[in-house]
Amino acid sequence: MRKVQILRVSGGKSTEINLPAQFSEPVREDLIRRAVSSLRMSRRQPYGADPIAGKRQGYHTPKRRNRFKTTYGKGISRIRRKHLWARGGQFYWIGAFVASATGGRKAFAPRSGKVLIEKINRKERRKAIRSAMAASNIVVMDDKLESVKKTSEMFNAFKSNKMDSELDRSKERKIRAGVGTRRGRKYKTKVGPLIVVSKACPAMLAADNLQGVEVSVVNNLNAELLAPGGDIGRTTVWSKSALEKLDKDKLFV
125 and 151 share one domain: yes
Q: Is position 85 within any domain?
A: yes
**220 and 97 together in one domain:** no
CATH of the domain at 137: 3.40.1370.10
Q: What is the pTM of this model?
A: 0.83
Both 21 and 87 in a single domain? no
What pLDDT sits at residue 151?
A: 95
Query: Residue 180: inside a domain, yes or no?
Result: no
- Report the pLDDT averaged over residues 12-30: 94
Tell whether 177 is covered by a domain.
no
Hey, what amino acid is at 5? Q
Same domain (yes/no): 129, 36: yes
- Per-residue pLDDT at 160 exceeds 90: yes
pLDDT digits (tens, 9 = 90+) for 178-193: 999 999 999 999 999 9
User: What pLDDT is recorded for position 172?
Assistant: 87
Does residue 69 carry a pLDDT above 90? no
Instruction: Tell whether 37 and 151 lie within a shared domain.
Output: yes
Range 17-29 average pLDDT: 95
Whether 228 maps to a domain, the answer reads yes
Does 213 lie in the same domain as 148? yes
Sign of CA dihedral 16, 20, 25, 28: negative
DSSP 77: -
For residue 239, give its domain range: 3-44+120-172+191-248
Closest by Cα among 113, 103, 140 to 238: 140
Q: How many domains does the chain have?
A: 2
Is residue 1's pLDDT more than 80?
A: no
